[in-house]
Chains A and B, each alone.
Chain A
Amino acid sequence: MLLQLKNISKWVHSGGQKVFLLKDINFWVNEGDFISIMGPSGSGKSTLLNIIGMLDDFNEGEYTFLEEKVHSLKEKHRANLYKQYIGFVFQAYHLIDELTVKENLEMPLLYKKHNASERKSLVADMLDRFNIVGKKDLFPSQLSGGQQQLVGVARALIASPKLILADEPTGNLNSKQGEEIMEIFTQLNKDGVTIIQVTHSEKNMAYGSRVINLLDGKIE
């Protein structure tokens, strides 16, 4: 088992009342899963994804990731954990505008203390694998949306994470570009990478192996 959520709840106080963003969430993920989280706007999909990605805290419950109890870890330790095992893909790509494609790919490696030659070969591999060698010196603004998302995925993968978290990865793309990205995810999943995606689209859902439906912060 890769990770497990037990009775996870998250709430905020609004007008003196507790408003639950997530309530009593229980589920687990095995290595090699391809899970789609679905639900209407405001149902807590992104919050759940952020909690899994350790970007957000929760108020109650237990979260175990590779046997580590995330809820009792210190901030720094937690950061090391997600740095090592998790890659993120965003709807708006979130590439750094001031960096070239190559440098965007290299960035996570810098924070993981790889040496220069390692970084170079890993970046070269990734450029090759995604067929974007010719674009390596371009800046994000010089790429199409689909190409940018390709770089986004490549960046998420570069440090060989066990888990990819994708928040509506095709939300800003046209259908053809979207299909390409989903094909890549399918291929990655076959190679053993666990994927959790948040999506609105039934079509994208079909690529996954398991669906979690959220409504008002609860799993249906």
Chain B
Amino acid sequence: MHTLYFKIAIRYLLKNKLYSFINILGLAIGVASFILIMVYVNYERSYDTFEGSENVYRVYMDALEGDVFEASDAQTANLIGPTLKQEFPEVIEQVRLYRFDKVTFKYDGKVIEESRGSLADETYFEVFNYPLLKGDKQNALKEPNTIVLTESFAKKIFGDRDPIKNTLSGFYAGKKVVLTVTGVLKDIPENTHMKTNFLISFDTYGNWFASEEEKKLNWGHCNFFTYLKVDKNADKTLLKSKVIASDFEDDEDERYNIEPLEEIHLYSNKPYEAEANGSISRIKFLTAIAFIVLLLSWLNYINLSTTKSLERAKEVGVRKVAGAQRLQLILQSLTESIVLNGIAIIIAIILTISMLSLYNNFTGKELVIHTSTITQLLPIIGFIVIGVVLAGLYPAILLSGYSPSKALKGKIRTSASGLNIRKGLIVLQFLATIVLLIGTIVITKQIDFMQKQPIGAELNQTISFHGEFLNNITDSLARRKCKILATELQKFPFVYGTARAQTYPGDGYDNLSSFIGIKYPNGTEESKKVFYNYTADSNYLDVLDIQFLAGNNFIDNPKGESNAIIINEACMREMEIFNPDDAINKTVSFFGREWVISGVIENYHHFGLKKGVHPLVILHGNSSNNLLVKFDNTVASTLGYNKAIAQIEEKWKQILPQRTFGYTFLDKKFEAQYNDDKQFGAAFRMFTLLAIFIAALGLFGLTSYTCIQRKKEIGIRKVNGASIFKILKLLNIDFIKWVGIAFIIAIPVAWYTMNSWLENFALKTNLSWWIFVLAGIMALGITLLTVSWQSFIAANGNPVDVLRDE
């Protein structure tokens, strides 16, 4: 009996090809979008999960900003971990990680640079329960000068040789160390905020690059990520409040705090994070879109199948007369809905799998549906199944309820309540569409705004050259050599200018220093406010074309350094100076010495426009970190960047034979800060388009329904002299009304949501009135186009054909 249901369902789908195509397409797009987004969302939510990860917490620092504490540093002093373990019994273990920005390894003539790694306490494996393939967890990181590698990184260095007990050299900050491999880690999954390819024992720190002061346990050097393993039965909220209340450092303006490891990726966005984290608001937005797109496709399905149910009234009548009971008819109708949805889901899964690789490129993630993620996907699958049944049930109940004598006479008309439900569905579809449209416009506008906003520095044609010294070279020698190189490069005709600097705009926190504790020119001692600082030479501000508000650049001298500083406007205001000219030649003290302000520069954006401008101090000095080269305007059209860079590399190898060679385009790196937002914007746009497409399909269905319903009315009106335009107006006016209602509801919803999204940005675009009007006009335009297509056909029909039927 049920095989017959299937047979009919399939024949019916084949017979009504356009209807089936529209319906299956809408559902497949909806389901595929939903699965794709949810796979991504699941991935984002799966960060830092392993056995026992729910009991791991990270320690971070809060600092007073005005009257409230705000997270000020994801990294902590080296003393806090051991202190917390000692003071609080619920802290079972602690581990400190010193995160490298990049270590250069040398083995057997091979040079490999790797940024994913840390110095780690020997307790690492107590806290991070990652499997060790070789070596033992107790002792792997116990001795100084030992290193643990991941399987694939070990292979990269050692090939097929057994890495255990092998030695390799590591270079960092111009210092060399010889390391013995004591363990091989199974590759750590990508979904962790602390991407790790190697771990070097903590005790190596003292033998390697730590200063005398850094070797000691202290509260001063906040360069360590600290993680705690907490007793699983402990009251974690209580522990948090105990940590907050503790005052080991005797400092009222700063305090320690803890956060769950699993929440770092989505909830934490503090200065000095290990990597740019995800964002819970993005995840929420995407989840909302996923549900909206899926619901739209089901609403669509309901609309289309109720539309079609009119044509099937006769069949229902025949079946009832032949003795079918209501339940049997419902089951049959449900079977059809399941067949149709089933085909759509199969297509959706094929679509999902084939699009996953595209999506991976798109988001820079490595998403795969593992068998293990299937269990995570169970709620999603469950949701889809329930949705399919519910979406099938409404048309089924509607259809099976027709009275046979009326159905057979073709007298079925939908009840007013049925029509109201459909109108409600349509308004809901429009509502979602308009909100998504507004969202898309706002996001596009914000990204555009950020890209067009002057950052206060000119990064075009400027490249940073950098590398690691592969010999033990003194700082001063390194700096001197860099200076020679800079002078040499200056001789190239295609070089506009060179500068040496510790960091540059768009470089983030990686090479940026900061300090607390300063005495202002007016004598005020400030001990709370964080000031960022870096070193640069006298060419730096010229090369980047950063504008002065007052004063002058550093004056070059043979030593290349002086006690002159240049501050930004934010810093000046922090010092309670309001006229830039007043700041010049004033003395401030920090780092235990006095400095003279030689210039005040405009606030340029060091971090990109997502973050605000912070007080910044530029010190006059030599740096070997980055050699900035600004190319001549003509280089791209004459020599080309590749050749120019090759010539520079040649010079580099002559003067710095022991230094690796690397380079970064400044403008590209600055732009890269917006990659996440751009990807989010692109994803949002894509799914909005799909949602609009689905909504348009639904509209198409509903219009054809209305046209069938009002066929006779149209015929009579035409016979009595109505023009095509009048008929079009008659048919379209309802839809325009619905768009209007949806628009009115959509405005506050969209305003509220987008306002909260813009809160993520320090500099935000306006939610101008035209955004809403544009979205409204677009929705109306799409509606009229879709609707008019059908109603034009209806209005153009020969009334005689229609009236003869009656």
Interface, chain A (partner B; CB < 8 A): 50, 53, 55-56, 76, 79, 82-83, 88, 90, 94-99, 103, 106-108, 110-112, 155, 159
In angstroms, Cα B4 to Cα A82, docked, is: 23
A86 closest partner in B (C-beta): B321
B241: Cβ under 8 A from any A Cβ = no
In angstroms, Cα B403 to Cα A190, docked, is: 34
Quick check: B321 and A79 within 8 Å, CB to CB? no
Quick check: B405 and A55 within 8 Å, CB to CB? yes
Quick check: A110 and B321 within 8 Å, CB to CB? no
Min CB distance A163 to B, Å, is: 13
Given contacts A103-B4, A107-B322, 9 further A-B contacts (CB under 8 A): A55-B321, A55-B403, A55-B404, A90-B408, A94-B317, A97-B315, A98-B11, A99-B11, A111-B324
Quick check: A96 and B1 within 8 Å, CB to CB? no
Which 6 A-B residue pairings sit nearest by Cβ, starting from the closest? Answer: A83-B323, A111-B323, A108-B322, A55-B405, A98-B11, A94-B318
In angstroms, Cα B15 to Cα A10, docked, is: 40
Min CB distance B339 to A, Å, is: 13
Taking a contact as CB atoms closer than 8 A, the residue among A94, A98, A103, A108 that contacts B323 in the complex is A108
Min CB distance A92 to B, Å, is: 8
Quick check: B325 and A98 within 8 Å, CB to CB? no
In angstroms, Cα B408 to Cα A109, docked, is: 20
Quick check: A56 and B321 within 8 Å, CB to CB? no
Listed by A's residue number, 20 A-B pairs whose Cβ atoms lie within 8 Å are: A55-B320, A55-B321, A55-B403, A56-B405, A76-B325, A79-B325, A82-B323, A83-B322, A90-B408, A94-B317, A94-B408, A96-B319, A97-B315, A99-B11, A108-B322, A111-B319, A111-B323, A111-B324, A111-B328, A155-B322
Residues of A within 8 A of B404 (CB): 55
Residues of A within 8 A of B315 (CB): 96-98
Residues of B within 8 A of A112 (CB): 323
Quick check: B321 and A88 within 8 Å, CB to CB? yes
In angstroms, Cα B317 to Cα A106, docked, is: 16
Taking a contact as CB atoms closer than 8 A, the residue among B11, B15, B317, B325 that contacts A111 in the complex is B325
A113 closest partner in B (C-beta): B1
Quick check: B319 and A107 within 8 Å, CB to CB? yes
Residues of B within 8 A of A94 (CB): 314, 317-318, 321, 408
Quick check: A96 and B318 within 8 Å, CB to CB? yes
Identify whether the interface residues of B are mostly helix, strand, loop, or mixed: helix
Interface size on B, residues (CB 8 A): 23
A108 closest partner in B (C-beta): B322
Min CB distance A139 to B, Å, is: 9
A111 closest partner in B (C-beta): B323
Min CB distance A105 to B, Å, is: 10
B12: Cβ under 8 A from any A Cβ = yes
Min CB distance A112 to B, Å, is: 6
Q: Which of B7, B11, B12 has the most CB of A within 10 A?
A: B11
Quick check: B322 and A97 within 8 Å, CB to CB? no
Taking a contact as CB atoms closer than 8 A, the residue among B1, B8, B328 that contacts A99 in the complex is B8
Min CB distance B331 to A, Å, is: 12
Of residues 456 through 493 on chain B, the ones whose CB sits less than 8 Å from some CB of chain A are none
Min CB distance A181 to B, Å, is: 18
In angstroms, Cα B403 to Cα A76, docked, is: 14
A107 closest partner in B (C-beta): B322
In angstroms, Cα B405 to Cα A98, docked, is: 21
Quick check: B4 and A98 within 8 Å, CB to CB? no
Min CB distance B440 to A, Å, is: 42
Min CB distance B153 to A, Å, is: 62
Quick check: A79 and B8 within 8 Å, CB to CB? no
A-contact bits for B292-335, CB 8 A (1 contact / 0 none): 00000000000000000000001101111111110010000000
Q: Given the known inter-chain contacts A108-B322, A111-B324, A112-B323, please indicate yes or no for A98 contacting B408, CB distance below 8 A.
A: no
B13 closest partner in A (C-beta): A98
A84 closest partner in B (C-beta): B323
Quick check: A98 and B324 within 8 Å, CB to CB? no
Residues of B within 8 A of A103 (CB): 4, 7
In angstroms, Cα B404 to Cα A83, docked, is: 14
Quick check: A97 and B4 within 8 Å, CB to CB? no
Quick check: B323 and A97 within 8 Å, CB to CB? no
Quick check: B321 and A111 within 8 Å, CB to CB? no
A-contact bits for B1-40, CB 8 A (1 contact / 0 none): 1001001100110010000000000000000000000000
Quick check: B405 and A110 within 8 Å, CB to CB? no
Quick check: B15 and A97 within 8 Å, CB to CB? yes
A165 closest partner in B (C-beta): B321
In angstroms, Cα B53 to Cα A27, docked, is: 85
Residues of A within 8 A of B323 (CB): 79, 82-83, 108, 111-112, 159
In angstroms, Cα B404 to Cα A56, docked, is: 9
Min CB distance B365 to A, Å, is: 46
In angstroms, Cα B321 to Cα A64, docked, is: 19
B324 closest partner in A (C-beta): A111
Residues of A within 8 A of B11 (CB): 98-99
In angstroms, Cα B12 to Cα A94, docked, is: 16
Q: Which of A53, A55, A106, A112 has the most CB of B within 10 A?
A: A55
In angstroms, Cα B375 to Cα A18, docked, is: 64
A141 closest partner in B (C-beta): B15
Q: Which of B4, B323, B325 has the most CB of A within 10 A?
A: B323
In angstroms, Cα B318 to Cα A171, docked, is: 18
Residues of B within 8 A of A99 (CB): 8, 11
Q: Which of B4, B7, B405 has the most CB of A within 10 A?
A: B405
B9 closest partner in A (C-beta): A98
Min CB distance B702 to A, Å, is: 24
Min CB distance A63 to B, Å, is: 15
Q: Which of A88, A98, A106 has the most CB of B within 10 A?
A: A98
Quick check: A110 and B408 within 8 Å, CB to CB? no
In angstroms, Cα B325 to Cα A82, docked, is: 12
Residues of B within 8 A of A96 (CB): 8, 315, 318-319
In angstroms, Cα B405 to Cα A103, docked, is: 23
In angstroms, Cα B4 to Cα A99, docked, is: 9
Quick check: A98 and B12 within 8 Å, CB to CB? yes
Min CB distance B489 to A, Å, is: 80
Residues of A within 8 A of B7 (CB): 103
Q: Given the known inter-chain contacts A50-B405, A111-B324, please indicate yes or no for A98 contacting B8, CB distance below 8 A.
A: yes
In angstroms, Cα B323 to Cα A194, docked, is: 19
In angstroms, Cα B102 to Cα A41, docked, is: 94
Min CB distance A83 to B, Å, is: 4
In angstroms, Cα B328 to Cα A161, docked, is: 22
Min CB distance B412 to A, Å, is: 14
Min CB distance A90 to B, Å, is: 7
In angstroms, Cα B324 to Cα A96, docked, is: 14
Min CB distance B657 to A, Å, is: 82
B329 closest partner in A (C-beta): A111
A-contact bits for B187-213, CB 8 A (1 contact / 0 none): 000000000000000000000000000
Residues of A within 8 A of B12 (CB): 98
Residues of B within 8 A of A97 (CB): 15, 315
Residues of A within 8 A of B320 (CB): 55
Of residues 392 through 433 on chain B, the ones whose CB sits less than 8 Å from some CB of chain A are 403-405, 408
In angstroms, Cα B3 to Cα A110, docked, is: 12
In angstroms, Cα B318 to Cα A108, docked, is: 10
Residues of B within 8 A of A79 (CB): 323, 325
Min CB distance A76 to B, Å, is: 8
Taking a contact as CB atoms closer than 8 A, the residue among B15, B317, B328, B403 that contacts A98 in the complex is B15
B316 closest partner in A (C-beta): A96
Residues of B within 8 A of A108 (CB): 322-323
In angstroms, Cα B403 to Cα A99, docked, is: 22
Residues of B within 8 A of A56 (CB): 405
Residues of B within 8 A of A53 (CB): 321
A-contact bits for B517-559, CB 8 A (1 contact / 0 none): 0000000000000000000000000000000000000000000
In angstroms, Cα B12 to Cα A159, docked, is: 26
Residues of A within 8 A of B318 (CB): 94-96
Q: Which of B317, B320, B324, B408 has the most CB of A within 10 A?
A: B408
Residues of B within 8 A of A90 (CB): 408
Taking a contact as CB atoms closer than 8 A, the residue among A50, A98, A111 that contacts B322 in the complex is A111
In angstroms, Cα B12 to Cα A98, docked, is: 6
Min CB distance A52 to B, Å, is: 12
